[in-house]
Chains A and B, each alone.
Chain A
Amino acid sequence: MSVSPSPAAATPTRSVAELKQIASQVRRDIVRMVHAVNSGHPGGSLGCTDLLVALYFKVMKHHPEPFDMNGIGQDMFFLSNGHISPVFYSVLARSGYFPVSELATFRKLNSRLQGHPATHEHLPGVRVASGSLGQGLSVAIGAAQAKKLNNDDRRVFVLMGDGELEEGQVWEAAMYAPHHKVDNLIAVVDRNGQQIDGPTDKIGGLGDLRAKFEAFGWQVLEADGNQFETLLPALDEALSLLGQGKPVMLLMDTQMGYGVDFMMGSHKWHGVAPNDEQLEKALQQLIVEEKSDY
């Protein structure tokens, strides 16, 4: 089974077994990318790998080549928590937006793969810069409203971190979307419970997110974001709820560092790269049948 870039990146019939193989390869990319430059954010990237693989390799209708910034007639994904750029870049490359070999330039001088995603260097697949947190939901809502004006019936996805919800702009946007009936939008929160200074319940007091978003007028779903067996049905249900006058929020429980046992569940791997020995240990746990490391 090959996980090389495919022009038909999103295949609705792709099996869970195939998705798991792709996810393992993406996780190999992530740990190798951050190890190579001794910087970057592996924890959240590993935790959100299954979501991005599900979206780009099964759920979304999208055309990697040639890349269309306006995304007319395509589903679109926005990464608001831009620090998990390694998973975004790996998934974009492996679904055909740019050569997989370019992953080797991550965070290096003159690269299109900036530390945080940017449009400035014209990297295909990225539609807005992110990194300064709290802005992506607003941008995604705007893009969703543009789709409505264009009579484009495709959907917009956006991923935020849970710590990111401490930014006030998120709640401005959360109030706006239901009021304006932006019902072609699925927002996902990566609820890994961790942020730089420690657990989110100790730092920011996020509280009952389901109750909060429901009170703001969203349709809210919850799912385990590291098991395709639960994630795929949740995404199907989210899609089925669109077009009913309300935006959809998926609270996705993940483990930071998922797939690498010594990184799992700890905020300590938010923004730290593995050393040589840790990299080898991680790669031994990320098994693919047909390895295609860049």
Chain B
Amino acid sequence: MKDFPYTEKKDTRSGFGAGLHQLGQTNPNVVALCADLIGSLKMDAFVKDFPERFFQVGIAEANMMGLAAGLTIGGKIPFTGTFANFSTGRVYDQIRQSIAYSGKNVKICASHAGVTLGEDGATHQILEDVGMMKMLPHMCVINPCDFNQTKAATLAIADYEGPVYLRFGRPVVPNFTPADQKFEIGKAVMLNEGTDVSIFATGHLVWKAILAGHLLADKGINAEIINIHTIKPLDEEAVLTSVRKTRCVVTAEEHQMNGGLGDSIAQLLARVEPLPLEMVAVNDSFGESGTPDELMEKYGLNEQAIVAAVEKVMARRK
């Protein structure tokens, strides 16, 4: 099992803020909108240095999505910023009609996704956002794993023509991917080659999968670990190549089982390569208040849960 050294822990939302600020310097068409959460989204630097390209919308997310659609008409590349909950469920029809169906080049940037939002509780801890967004035709859905990758993803989506949902979070997590990485939309990242099981993880669960990989190695299990930062379009070739080698699969994500990464991979396997699969995800439940670590443990989203899922799926393998 490879080591993934890191020197600091950082929040993925700060990776977004850093990427957005860099885009302000490099791409004059990039504009940003925020619904009264500049600090939470780490958009301060962009607001300070590019005030003429920043639009404070106030607590009016439906209007924000429509404004963003309109700003594309004239060649702008709008990045909207608010919590994941208010970026999706609250404004689903606005995204569906004015952005997705209309094919507008809007980047919906969503922080505080999942239970790691913590103490604010279930009203804000959306676990259904990936499902809602991936169901929209031609919507690209990305959930990077750490600061560096979120920054790289933010830069990459500015050069992609079409609507994107970029999901990130609040807590600090190990920043272990390369600072100079090239982010390829729709391309899975091989982290550890293995032969016994394929673990496909996204977002904050990527680091948990690495921790699980070490625990599994101690048990003599050689896990293949792949970071699926782009849930849609899914890198089907990478998934199928891996599962044809390992013959069993675990998926891991901070999201409902329904509609998440596991659901996408299960669909692919059922159509093309039926193999045993276990999902590490929230099982038809809302979250609650607590610290991020407490919640990840209670809702079965940590390395121990991944190890248990691996042992279960390997026992099912024929």
Contact = CB atoms under 8 A, between A and B. Distances in A.
Interface string A165-208: 00011001101100010000000000000000000000000000
A135 B100 CA distance: 14
Contacts of B76: 146, 149
Given A143-B71, A172-B63, A120 B98 contact: no
B contacts with A: majority SS: helix
Interface string B52-84: 110101101011111111111111101000000
A8 interface: no
B90 to A, nearest CB: 11
A61 interface: no
A173 B63 contact: yes
B62 A168 contact: yes
Given A128-B104, A130-B97, A146-B76, A169 B63 contact: yes
Nearest to A179: B58
Contacts of A69: 73
B63 A71 contact: no
B102 A120 contact: yes
B40 interface: no
Contacts of B72: 142, 146
For A134, A149, A152, A180, which residue has the most chain B Cβ atoms within 10 angstroms?
A149
Contacts of A72: 74-75
A139 B69 contact: yes
B93 interface: yes
B93 A142 contact: no
A180 to B, nearest CB: 7
What's the interface size class on A, roughly?
Answer: 35 or more
Contact of B69 (A128, A172, A173): A128
Range, interface on chain B = 20 to 34
A149 B60 CA distance: 22
A127 B74 contact: no
B97 A71 contact: no
A197 B212 CA distance: 59
Most B Cβ at <10 Å: residue of A71, A136, A142, A147: A142
B52 A149 contact: yes
A141 interface: yes
A145 B53 CA distance: 10
Interface string A115-136: 0001110000001111110111
Interface string A60-76: 00000000011110001
Contacts of A172: 60, 62-63
Given A128-B98, A180-B55, A150 B74 contact: yes
Most buried by A among B69, B71, B73, B101: B73
B103 interface: yes
B70 A140 contact: yes
Contact of A142 (B60, B62, B66): B66
B31 interface: yes
A135 B63 CA distance: 8
A146 B63 contact: no
Interface string B30-44: 010000000000000
Contact of A118 (B65, B101, B104): B101
A159 to B, nearest CB: 15
A75 to B, nearest CB: 13
B177 interface: no
A144 B70 contact: yes
A135 B67 CA distance: 9
B73 A169 contact: no
B70 A120 contact: no
A71, A139, A175 — which one has the most chain B CB atoms within 10 A of its CB?
A139
B53 A149 contact: yes
A72 B67 CA distance: 18
B94 interface: yes
A69 B104 CA distance: 11
B221 to A, nearest CB: 48
Interface of A: 69-72, 76, 118-120, 127-132, 134-147, 149-150, 152, 168-169, 172-173, 175-176, 180
21 contacts: A71-B73, A72-B75, A118-B102, A120-B101, A128-B73, A129-B102, A135-B62, A135-B66, A135-B93, A135-B94, A136-B66, A137-B66, A138-B66, A138-B70, A139-B98, A140-B70, A145-B71, A146-B70, A152-B74, A172-B63, A176-B57
* List of 8 A-B pairs having minimum Cβ-Cβ separation, nearest first: A142-B70, A138-B66, A146-B74, A172-B63, A172-B60, A142-B67, A139-B70, A143-B70
Given A131-B97, A175-B60, 19 more contacts: A70-B73, A71-B74, A76-B73, A118-B102, A119-B101, A119-B103, A128-B73, A128-B98, A134-B62, A138-B65, A138-B69, A138-B98, A142-B67, A142-B70, A145-B70, A149-B53, A173-B66, A175-B58, A176-B63
